[in-house]
Structure 1
Amino acid sequence: MMGTTHQTDTLIVGGGVIGCAIAYELAKAGVDVIVLEKETLGSQSTRAGAGMLGAQVEMTAPGPMYELGVKSRALFPKLREELLDISGIDMELHTPGIFRIAVDEDDRAALLERQRWQTECGQRAVWFEDEDLRGEMGDLVSPRYGALYLPDDHQVRNPQLLLALAASAKRLGVRIFEHTPMMGFLQEHGAVAGVKTADGVIRADRVIVAAGAWSGLLARQLGLDLPVFPVKGQSFLLDSYSPPTPFTIYTHGCYILPKKNGQVYVGATEEQQAGFDRRPNLRSLASLSTQAVELLPSLGDLPFSTPLAGLRPGSRDGMPYLGSVPGIDGLYVASGHFRNGVLLSAITGLVMAELLTGKETSVDLEAFSLKRAHVFG
């Protein structure tokens, strides 16, 4: 790409699970797409994430975010079949469900209230007292206050989902440029007309910023105050030929996900003050290890595999920004998904493709509009 100029209908800046999901859906609609990634696809928060499709376990109250998560979760079985058919790569959808373990009486009361409103919203949420939980899982867990079982909250393996999306998008004609950092925006007559890179120029009718925790930094180049910021998360993988439970176990500050490849994912911290430092550290991993073994004692005998660390794209209200940037033609944002990038990838890809092709969106995007952010600095 040395000194060359490329032309496309839509340029997506960011090659994580959000950018690749949008590229895939746009390519299905016949749109010419380029994905620009400064490192390798999925090398940031996608690589380090747990892969939970926690539409119920992650949401503490009904509202637009809960509805977005439920709609997205429902898309994954069909999406899995589509991607498997096109690419031959399985995202490893794992469906036994999630147990959210209560840690004290206040947590128990909050989870029982969550069971009430989620059931009223038409979702399955089943309460297990301690003896019921032990009957289901043996003595693997050490509960004291009961647990909420969410049978329809599932999980995938992040690297496989990313590979399936990227390979399918490429099969449909998407061009992917890795190791190509963006150097600045092209602007003509007040509109964004593409980007500049060290290797040349990419002209585009529309540019979507889907750069995760780095989205706010890129927006500053246009004088925009997009409040997306890094929240560091650390986790680790354990090796196991046969994980001790098929269920995802989740509680305050710790969750345990058995993967179909035999590994067990243990996560994850939330560190607001780490900035853009992605290195794992001993204190956080030691704290996670202690919590995990207390929750599921048999994990203590499993061999340690890999530490992981990534930067989640946080937002002030915990909800993503999806849509066009007010006042700048040709510029769109899909970022700020925080802990729910994998869960929301399916619906984000769908609604952004609908928006850019002039269709009515499957979800009302008003609650996720950039108007709430007051982006102009």
Structure 2
Amino acid sequence: MNGGTRTNVLETDVLIVGGGVIGASIAYELAEAGVQTLLIDKDNLGSQSTRAGAGMLGAQVEMMNPGPMFELGVASRALFSNLREKLLEISGLDMELQTPGIFRVAVDEEDRQELLARQIWQREAGQRAEWYEDEDLRNILGDNIVGTTYGALYIPDDHQVRNNALLLALVASAKALGAKFLEHTAMTSFLTENGAVVGVQTQDGVIRANRVVLATGAWTGLLGQGLGLDIPVFPVKGQSFLLDSYAPPTPYTIFTHGCYILPKRNGQVYVGATEEASGFDTRPNLGSLAKLSTQAVHLMPSLASLPFAEPIAGLRPGSRDGLPVLGDVPGVPGLYLATGHFRNGVLLSAITGKVMRELLTGTETSVDLKPFALMR
């Protein structure tokens, strides 16, 4: 619903600032726990990186090394099957979970060796990872589907969803459980008392809260400056495009350096994505899209005949060390962060909602949040 003009002070237990899949997941989890929750967003819900993202649940394909990020991704991926059923039951909306798996294609010998090494450590970590030589890959995908490769690592347990479908299911379910949402309600500053955050000022008035969660993606660093905080989160522009297809050429996600191709259940094909340091400029540009389309056609020649649907651009929340920032803010009671997920916001949305629910309800968290603490 719209923010509108308000003169009265709103009050809530938990206020979430930011209405992408991260904020919506937290709102859903808190509402399910019976916590009074209000979420606000300065635009439409999901209008930034959620709208622009591919929707990969790439717990393995996105990870170069073992460590906390890999473990967090695997833990989150494991939640999606049950989460889908719960959201479907509450809201009747399907996140469009697709489970054929992902092929991570090698484009040269160096890439091949890195992927073979990745297969070893991921198997040692208890995850499935299968190697296919080029001929085997062609037998599965067809010669007209994929160009020449140096083999591919197949990740059967990495899946995908459609971002907007996931967001709608989370929001509808959270609303059904009692959470409130205000769109077009921009936070302008924090409310503080005795050093603690007790709410926010918006352009429409004051919202008081016992706890405030910043799930504001690429904008979190800017908002933190209002309290003198150095939150190491910054915008990274990602450009991609959609193609129209009544029948996508393959059910599998095809992934390689700088380019990934995802067939969607609505018949479209998502092709992404660039990584650009361009500040807060969200406009698509011809050069980046031309380079991306050349990569995509080289990887999957059959895409060349598909009609172009639309360009997409959005700002991912990057972080200095590539890890998200999750948890409370030392020295600032009442303030919590859930940001910096970069390319993995959709993948990590499930575990982020869960651990923030645990943190805000005083329950021991499912994963160790120390590697993701602001002061790490």
Superposition TM-score, scaled by structure 2 size: 0.98
Deviations 1:268-313 (A, max 9, x none): 00002x0000000111111111111111111111111011000000
Tell me the residue number matched to 1:193: 198
Deviations 1:59-91 (A, max 9, x none): 011110000000000000000001111111100
Report if aligned partners of 1:94, 1:155 keep a CA contact under 8 Å in 2. Answer: yes
Does residue 84 of the first structure (1) align with residue 88 of the second (2)? yes
Question: In structure 1, how many angstroms separate the alpha carbons of the residues matched to 2:7 and 2:225?
Answer: 25
Map 1:1-377 → 2, pairs under 5 A:
1-139=5-143, 140-272=145-277, 274-372=278-376
AA aligned opposite 1:40 = N
Question: In structure 1, how many angstroms separate the alpha carbons of the residues matched to 2:148 and 2:75?
Answer: 31
AA aligned opposite 1:271 = E
Question: In structure 2, how many angstroms separate the alpha carbons of the residues matched to 1:105 and 1:4?
Answer: 64
AA aligned opposite 1:222 = L
Question: In structure 2, how many angstroms separate the alpha carbons of the residues matched to 1:294 and 1:144?
Answer: 10
Question: In structure 2, how many angstroms separate the alpha carbons of the residues matched to 1:329 and 1:2?
Answer: 27
AA aligned opposite 1:333 = L
Tell me the residue number matched to 1:375: none
- Per-residue deviation, 1:2: 1.5
Please give the secondary structure, in 2, of the residue aligned with 1:4.
coil
- Per-residue deviation, 1:143: 2.9
Question: In structure 2, how many angstroms separate the alpha carbons of the residues matched to 1:32 and 1:144?
Answer: 53
AA aligned opposite 2:338 = A
Unmatched tracts of structure 2, length 5 or more: none
Report if aligned partners of 1:4, 1:199 keep a CA contact under 8 Å in 2. Answer: no
- Per-residue deviation, 1:183: 1.0
Deviations 1:70-115 (A, max 9, x none): 0000000000001111111100001000000001111100000000
Runs of 4+ aligned structure 1 residues displaced above 6 Å come to: none
Please give the secondary structure, in 2, of the residue aligned with 1:283.
helix
Please give the secondary structure, in 2, of the residue aligned with 1:308.
strand
Please give the secondary structure, in 1, of the residue aligned with 2:47.
coil
Question: In structure 1, how many angstroms separate the alpha carbons of the residues matched to 2:142 and 2:202?
Answer: 56
- Per-residue deviation, 1:3: 1.5
Question: In structure 2, how many angstroms separate the alpha carbons of the residues matched to 1:290 and 1:190?
Answer: 53
AA aligned opposite 1:337 = H
Question: In structure 2, how many angstroms separate the alpha carbons of the residues matched to 1:29 and 1:67?
Answer: 25
Deviates more, 1:1-10 or 1:107-116: 1-10
Question: In structure 2, how many angstroms separate the alpha carbons of the residues matched to 1:99 and 1:279?
Answer: 30
Please give the secondary structure, in 1, of the residue aligned with 2:168.
helix
Question: In structure 2, how many angstroms separate the alpha carbons of the residues matched to 1:143 and 1:70?
Answer: 30
Report if aligned partners of 1:90, 1:161 keep a CA contact under 8 Å in 2. Answer: yes
Superposition TM-score, scaled by structure 1 size: 0.98
Question: In structure 2, how many angstroms separate the alpha carbons of the residues matched to 1:317 and 1:363?
Answer: 19
- Per-residue deviation, 1:189: 1.0
Unmatched tracts of structure 1, length 5 or more: 373-377
